[in-house]
């Protein structure tokens, strides 16, 4: 039986903000009650939260009351107070190195004999009882290598609402790492991320199709967290959840009513070439006519889960579900943004202009050094077309004119400029996606995500996103990544092992 919205629930949704916006921190919680088995805490604020942190970390089995007090207190802090707590958690409750040092000395003394320090033969160790001691010490070493905060994090995960708090803590930790890249903070982040990966394994997550009949509270979250193509109004939301469209979310039982990540799908006859035709153009086709499932938006709702690839498993589950429910769908592709293209291009233009100016000032005396880094961004015919399209040239080079034009989004309003820029921008975008690397992988974050999941670069599309954001990020260009079902594993493995990017002939 489906659920319909009451007038009240629709009124709530009507008041929802119709664009992506950060979810505000919860209001300050009231002062926590005294723990039944702890002394009274210090004054409210960071000192009080630190008290409950110490009480929880120090206990062999943290009490639920102490964990609740820490949770309520931590949520009530501003960013400065939270960062203070995170520094304390990372520094004061790190690996107990003094104990670890003593255990290592004992272990070495038991595991070696003789002046040469050679390891005892197995039989001798067994006869002397040393083997049992070694095994005990190895277990002790393993325990000593765990940071003191390990038990606290595990206990918090078992608390009602604890997993959500840990995601909030990691989001705060990532923000702090952006300011203070300290090894002790990186260690805490690495440990917490590793635990979150385990706790959020695909087996623990439920896939749910989000529909117009879901509670208004859930639909509000979809509106608020949509990060790729903001939802403008109720009509837009209803279209994305209606005929010819699908929206799927991954849910965890510890965070009910809130997807960790969700994906939006359009059922089409073929791959779309622009987001306008997906969101605003003709009415959706009859679902029985669909041949292509187009993934056009993937949004994560938890900043603290950054770096945990839930999208990979969500994509695979959704593809399997669509193949089962809609056998006529044979094409699985995306229409994706290229968020880093314009930033990369403007930086490339600036560096080449600087090198040209340096050569001119030094009278080519730096030819041996600077010429190594000089490259022709524009082809001769492209440079000529840009010169003809720009009204005020002022003896500037083509790359200088291109830089001036791209610094503003106004060029899209000129048919002459748009026509002049299409060829160089499409060619340079193809290069950016297929050839520009970071640590051996695709420089563009969205490209890296899909390529590591086994996709190939199929096609780039001119003026596919004409929103202000789309023009600013990528000159309006979007890309289709294609998931060939028979090649997904092969492409994913080759990209992971060697960085090989598979693409259609036009993208090579």
Of 54, 252, 450, 502, which residue is the catalytic one? 450
Q: Sign of dihedral through CA atoms 376, 380, 385, 390?
A: positive
Q: SS3 for 336? A: strand
DSSP 200: T
Q: Is 79 a catalytic residue?
A: no
The phi, psi pair for 280, rounded to 5°, reads: -125, -25
In degrees and rounded to multiples of 5, residue 480 shows phi and psi of -95, 120
Measured between alpha carbons, how far is 82 from 173 in angstroms, rounded to an integer?
Answer: 9
Alpha-carbon gap, residue 341 to 343, rounded angstroms: 6
Among all chains, which residue has been given the structure tokens 């954001």?
469
Task: State the CB neighbour count (10 A cutoff) for residue 229.
Answer: 22
Q: 326-355: string of b/e by CB count within 10 Å (b at 16+)?
A: beebebbbbbbbbbbbbebbeebbeebbeb
Query: Is 450 one of the catalytic residues?
Result: yes
296 near 268, Cβ under 8 Å? no
For the CA atoms of the chain, what is the radius of gyration? 29
Structure tokens at 197: 């990966």
Q: Alpha-carbon dihedral of residues 83, 27, 70, 149, nearest 10 degrees?
A: -40
Q: How far apart are CA 97 and CA 102, in angstroms?
A: 9
**Which residues lie below 8 Å from residue 337, measured CB to CB, with a gap of 6+?**
228, 446, 465, 470, 473, 474, 478
Backbone angles phi, psi at 342, to 5 degrees: -65, -35
Catalytic residue among 48, 299, 336, 430: 336
**C-beta separation of 177 from 189 below 8 A:** yes
Where in the sequence numbering do the catalytic residues fall? Answer: 336, 450
């Amino acid at each position: 039986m489906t659920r319909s919205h009451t007038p009240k629930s629709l009124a709530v949704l009507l008041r929802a903000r119709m664009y992506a916006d950060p979810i505000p921190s919860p209001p300050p919680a009231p002062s926590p009650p005294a723990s039944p088995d702890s002394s009274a805490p210090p004054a409210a604020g960071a000192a009080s939260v630190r008290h409950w942190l110490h009480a929880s970390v120090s206990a062999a089995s943290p009490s639920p009351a102490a964990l609740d007090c820490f949770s309520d207190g931590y949520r009530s802090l501003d960013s400065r107070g939270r960062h203070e707590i995170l520094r304390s958690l990372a520094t004061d409750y790190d690996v107990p190195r003094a104990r670890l040092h003593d255990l290592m000395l004992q272990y070495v003394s038991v595991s070696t004999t003789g002046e040469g320090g050679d390891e005892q033969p197995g039989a001798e160790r067994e006869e002397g009882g040393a083997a049992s001691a070694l095994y005990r010490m190895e277990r002790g070493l393993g325990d000593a290598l765990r940071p003191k905060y390990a038990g606290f994090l595990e206990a918090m995960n078992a608390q009602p609402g604890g997993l959500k708090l840990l995601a909030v803590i990691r989001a705060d930790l990532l923000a702090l790492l952006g300011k203070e890249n300290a090894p002790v903070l990186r260690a805490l982040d690495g440990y917490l991320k590793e635990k979150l990966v385990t706790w959020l394994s695909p087996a623990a997550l439920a896939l749910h199709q989000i529909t117009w009949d879901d509670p208004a509270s859930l639909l509000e979250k979809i509106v608020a967290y949509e990060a790729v193509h903001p939802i403008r109004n109720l009509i837009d939301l209803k279209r994305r959840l209606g005929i010819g469209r699908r929206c799927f979310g991954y849910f965890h039982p510890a965070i009910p009513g809130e997807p960790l990540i969700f994906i939006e799908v359009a059922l089409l006859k073929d791959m779309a070439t622009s987001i306008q035709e997906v969101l605003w153009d003709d009415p959706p086709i009859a679902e029985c006519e669909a041949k292509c499932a187009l993934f056009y938006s993937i949004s994560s709702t938890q900043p603290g889960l950054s770096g945990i690839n839930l999208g990979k498993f969500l994509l695979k589950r959704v593809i399997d579900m669509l193949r089962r429910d809609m056998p006529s769908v044979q094409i699985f592709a995306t229409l994706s943004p290229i968020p880093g293209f314009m930033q990369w291009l403007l930086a490339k233009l600036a560096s080449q202009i600087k090198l040209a100016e340096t050569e001119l000032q030094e009278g080519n005396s730096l030819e041996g050094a600077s010429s190594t880094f000089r490259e022709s961004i524009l082809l001769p015919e492209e440079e000529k077309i840009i010169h003809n399209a720009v009204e005020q040239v002022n003896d500037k080079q083509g790359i200088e004119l291109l830089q001036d034009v791209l610094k503003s989004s106004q060029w899209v309003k000129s048919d002459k400029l748009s026509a002049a820029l299409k060829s160089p921008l499409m060619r340079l975008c193809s290069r950016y996606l297929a050839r520009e690397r970071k640590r051996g992988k695709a420089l563009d974050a969205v490209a890296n995500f899909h390529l590591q999941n086994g996709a190939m670069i199929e096609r780039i599309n001119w003026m596919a996103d004409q929103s202000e954001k789309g023009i600013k990020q990528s000159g309006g260009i979007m890309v289709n990544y294609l998931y060939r079902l028979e090649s997904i594993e092969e492409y994913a493995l080759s990209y992971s092992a060697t960085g090989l990017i598979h693409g259609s002939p036009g993208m090579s």
